[in-house]
Structure 1
Amino acid sequence: MTCILVVDDSPTELHVISTMLARHGYTVVTASSGEEGMSRAREIKPDLVLMDVVMPGLNGFQATRQLSQDPLTADIPIVMVTTKDQETDKVWAMRQGARDYIVKPVREKELIRSLKEILS
């Protein structure tokens, strides 16, 4: 079963995204901070990470860069899921190692399409 790590500091977003993923048969693990997300990614080696950008402490751009540069996690694709909708944010996310960029509120069809494309 495909395992997705969802990293977001909002309990509501974690619930909404986790519910969408579970409905499509994905196993979901959550983390509520960039630091916890990095720890979980190293520990469980998920098939994909969904990463929020705006979080206290280590933000999503920093966590994505660190995961992308770490030999233990560099092969795990990361999709940014954020309210930041500027083109410069998207470009910066891709430079940090993200494979896709989805703007909240997340639309289920868009999320699942992105995951299937990246995981295929």
Structure 2
Amino acid sequence: MPAMTPRFTVGIGRAFGRKPCREPVPFQEILPLKLKDSVSGKGEKTSDVACLQDMAVMLACFKKHDFNQALCSKEISSFQSCYSKFENDREQAKNMDNTLVGAKSRLPYKTLNKILKKYPSS
């Protein structure tokens, strides 16, 4: 194998690299770069349906027994206990959201608004 002579190595650095396709666009500041003092809560509105399975079983029992509540007491009590458990869990989660003790990756918008009002940017 012959040795690489300067005649062959001229321009090797540029020959194997790709040039960028586009020139970089300079950043133009249209609005001032500062945070607002509040955050909208639109992203957190989720349709949280509680105890859907128990509700479906209860309504099927109502339909089967011509809406006689006495014959569907087991299903009614099951649905009520499930819903009360859901309410307790939701209340505990709401109380935990108001405190800043736990470090989360995503804070609720109400907690963020409290922090932003405490430390305004302007």
TM-score when normalising by structure 1: 0.18
Structure index of larger Rg: 2
Ranked by relative contact order (alpha carbons within 8 Å, sequence separation 6 or more), the top structure is 2
Q: Higher strand share goes to which structure? A: 1
More helix by share: 2
